[in-house]
Structure 1
C-alpha cells in the first residue's frame, strides 16, 4: 500500500502572504479605509495565512473599527482582487517542488487540502505550473465541510487514490494539527512559515525545518 502525503497550501507549500496582503489592501481601499497591511510585518504576513477575513479584521482593528458587516463587505472585493493577481509575489518554499517530485517518483500519492477556495487554489497551482504534481486538491468549498473537519482530509486522500492507514498531513497551523488529530493521521508541521514559529507547542508527530529533510521525516514516522 503506497503512502499518501497531503499538504496544506498557504504557509506550507507556498508563501502566498504577499499576494494575499495586496488583495486585502485593495479591499480596504474599496471600503474607503486608509489603514493598510504591510508585507514586511511578521504579524501581517502570519495573519494573511489565516484568511481574508482575518486580514480585514486586523487592519480595521488597527483603525479602531470592530464591524463584522464591514468585514463581510470587504471579503468579496478581496477575493476578486486576489484572483486578478494571485501569483505575482507567491513562491514555493525552498525544496518544496523537488520534495513533491521525489515522493511521486517513489510511488507515493500526493495531494493538497487547503481552506483556500478551490477555484483560487486551482488557479494558483496552474499559474505556478505545478498542478500536475498533485493527485488531488480539496479546497474550502469543495465539500460542505472544511478543515479541521476530518472529512476534508479523507476526501483529499481518497481523491489521490490513497488510504488513510498510510496517510500524513503536512501543515503549518493549529488548524492542520486539529485536522490530523480528527482524521487520526500523523501531522508534520513546518517551522519556516511566517506563522509557524511556535508550532512545536502544538505537539505534532514531527517538525519539518526544510523540505530537503522531508524524506527522512516521513521515514521516521514509519507509515
Structure 2
C-alpha cells in the first residue's frame, strides 16, 4: 500500500472483481475444480457464467449444484463444506487468467498524479484481495484496502466503504465509489456518496437500470470524472 496521508483532492474508492480486474475465468475454474473434487461434472462456463462469478463463490456453488441435481445426491451442508475448498483452489491459481481492465493502470496513475487518494472496497476476503493485487502489481497503488472480512459487516453496509476512505486519509464527503453491481450502488447510497458503474463488465450497459450517478464506458474517462466531482 502507498503511504497514507491526507487526501488533497478527495478519495476514489474502487470495487475489485468486475471493476478493476476481470477475474471471472479464475473464479469459475476454482468452482469447477471444487465440483470435480466431489466427482461432479464441470458445470460452469468462464464466458457464459462471468456475471455469476462476480456474485461470489457461494452463488457459483449453488448454481452448479442446481445444474447437476440429477448427477449425485449431495449431503446436507455441502455448500458449507465446499466453500473453503473453492477458496483454496482459487488461492492456488488466483491470477492465471485475471487481468486489469484496459486503461486501469493509466487511470490510476493519472488520479494519483492529480492528488487523489485511491482505495479498494471489495466483498472478496481480504487475504485473497491482497494476494490478487500483489500478483497483478497493483497493491502499491492503493492507500487502503477493505475486504469482506476486514470488518464484521460487508457491502452494501456503508461501514466498509467509510473505513476504506478513512484509512486512505480521506473524508467520506469528498469521495466516490467506482463499481459494477447493484451492491456497489446500494453501498454508495447508504454512504451518501456518488457512484459510477462500469459499462464494460459482463452486464455492459445493462447496469444503467441501477441508476448510477455516472456510467463509465472506459477507464480513460475516470480522471475527468473525478475532477468534475471532487476537483
- Moved beyond 4 Å, runs of 4+: 65-68
* Range with bigger deviation, 45-54 or 213-222: 213-222
Structure 2: stretches of 5+ with no match in the other structure: 1-7
Determine the structure 2 residue equivalent to 1:62.
67
Q: Which residue of 1 aligns with 2:145?
A: 137
* In 1: Cα distance, 2:205 partner to 2:86 partner: 27
Corresponding residue number in structure 1 for 2:56: 51
Contact in 2 for aligned 1:47/1:195 (Cα 8 Å)? no
1:115 match: 123
Checking the alignment, whether the CA contact within 8 Å between 1:173 and 1:196 is kept in structure 2 is no
Give the corresponding residue for 2:155. 147
Displacement of 1:69 = 2.0
* Structure 1 equivalent of residue 92 of structure 2: 84
Supply the distance in 2 between the matched residues of 1:32 and 1:148 (Cα, whole angstroms). Answer: 35
Which structure 1 residue ranges, 5 or more long, are not aligned? none
Corresponding residue of 2:12 = 5
**Contact 1:172-1:196 within 8 A present in 2 as well:** no
Residues 2 and 107, structure 1, Cα contact 8 Å, conserved in 2: yes
1:156-199 Cα deviation digits (max 9, x unpaired) = 00011101111000000000000000000000000111144411
Note the C-alpha offset of 1:134: 0.4
CA distance in 2, matches of 1:111, 1:9: 10
User: CA RMSD of the aligned region, Å?
Assistant: 1.6
How far has the Cα of 1:222 moved from its partner? 4.9
Once the two structures are overlaid, the 10-residue window that deviates more, 105-114 or 211-220, is: 211-220
Alpha-carbon distance between aligned partners in 2 of 1:159 and 1:22, rounded to the nearest angstrom:
33
- Deviations 1:42-100, CA, capped at 9 Å, x for gaps: xx111101110011111111123797722222101100000000000000000011101
Aligned pairs, number: 221
TM-score, normalization by structure 2: 0.91
Match of 1:21 among 24, 28, 45: 28
Alignment partner, residue 5 of structure 2: none
